[in-house]
């Protein structure tokens, strides 16, 4: 069982036909922060051998469901814990670790080891699958490095910290006031002064792109999106779950394409 289809896709790639994966959140229109437990998923979780959750407060419903399921034999993989990311310097933890490719590699390694322990006879299959997947992930890391060589130091903006690990890896500088992105992520009102400062990034042409979380919308983010379009700042939509028809590697490859295209304008 995986909390979202992001981790579910990766779990399926490592497991191949030896593993049956069920992802709880699969719709690109769903908000994991607002998920409410269903009886069907609760029952499925009670039978799971391996559970993959994001952690970091992102999908707390998984911990509640695990407690109710009373499935003490399941191995629980927490992606944030595995990644090693922690809140530092008083800043909140960015729990969106699936945008951090080295962190994803660590999760893939843990999936391989956990599967091999559960099914030793298929260990070689899991090892081969994980190696193939990690080769593709390394390709994404190399693409980030190529973009960094071209665009490191370029100023960009976000609506939420969803893609920040990816933007950081390219060496881009996030100019959005922290108070803006934090308020949007928490669903609270953005102070008028902070909103004005944010909108000026676009009217003053201070940023090269806007990475816009397409899965959440509100009046403040709507104004930011409108400002970006008005002043010709390229918009790169990002999501928290897989777009329809894409797997993880294809999705992230498309994100890198979009960022490169935006910065090249």
Partners of 236 in beta bridges: 211
Note the pLDDT of residue 70. Answer: 86
Sheet holding 23-25, edge to edge: 23-25, 2-4, 50-53, 75-78
Q: What is the pLDDT of residues 39-65, one digit of tens each?
A: 888 888 999 999 999 999 999 989 888
Confidence (pTM): 0.95
pLDDT grade, residue 27 (50/70/90)? Answer: confident
Note the pLDDT of residue 67. Answer: 87
- Measured distance CA(7)–CA(241) in Å, rounded: 9
Q: Which domains does the chain have, with CATH numbers?
A: 2-143 (3.40.50.1980), 152-263 (3.40.50.1980)
Q: What is the pLDDT of residues 182-227, one digit of tens each?
A: 999 888 899 999 999 999 999 999 999 999 999 887 899 999 999 9
Helix (H, G, I), strand (E, B) or coil at 226: helix
- Measured distance CA(152)–CA(161) in Å, rounded: 18
DSSP state of 60: T
Helix (H, G, I), strand (E, B) or coil at 53: strand
- Of the candidates 110, 93, 77, 96, the one whose C-alpha atom is nearest the C-alpha of residue 32 is 96
């Amino acid at each position: 069982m995986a909390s979202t289809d992001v981790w579910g896709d990766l779990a399926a790639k490592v497991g191949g036909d030896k593993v049956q994966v069920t992802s709880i959140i699969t719709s690109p229109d769903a908000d994991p922060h607002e998920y409410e437990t269903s009886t069907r998923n609760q029952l499925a979780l009670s039978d799971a051998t391996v559970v993959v959750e994001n952690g970091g407060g992102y999908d707390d419903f998984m911990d509640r469901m695990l407690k109710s399921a009373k499935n003490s034999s399941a191995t629980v993989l927490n992606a944030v814990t595995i990644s090693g990311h922690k809140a530092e310097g008083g800043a909140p933890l960015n729990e969106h670790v699936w945008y951090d490719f080295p962190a994803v590699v660590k999760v893939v390694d843990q999936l391989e080891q956990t599967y091999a322990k559960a099914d030793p006879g298929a260990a070689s299959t899991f090892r081969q699958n994980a190696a193939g997947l990690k080769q593709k992930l390394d390709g994404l890391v190399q693409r980030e490095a190529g973009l960094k060589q071209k665009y490191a130091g370029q100023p960009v903006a976000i609506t939420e910290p969803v893609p920040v690990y990816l933007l950081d890896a390219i060496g881009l500088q996030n100019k959005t006031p922290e108070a803006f992105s934090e308020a949007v992520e928490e669903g609270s009102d953005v102070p008028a002064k902070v909103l004005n400062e944010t909108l000026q990034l676009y009217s003053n042409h201070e940023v090269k792109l806007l990475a816009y979380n397409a899965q959440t919308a509100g009046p403040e983010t709507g104004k930011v999106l409108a400002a970006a379009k008005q002043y010709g700042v390229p918009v790169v939509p990002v999501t928290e779950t897989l777009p329809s028809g894409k797997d993880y590697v294809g999705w992230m490859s498309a994100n890198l394409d979009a960022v490169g295209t935006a910065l090249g304008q």
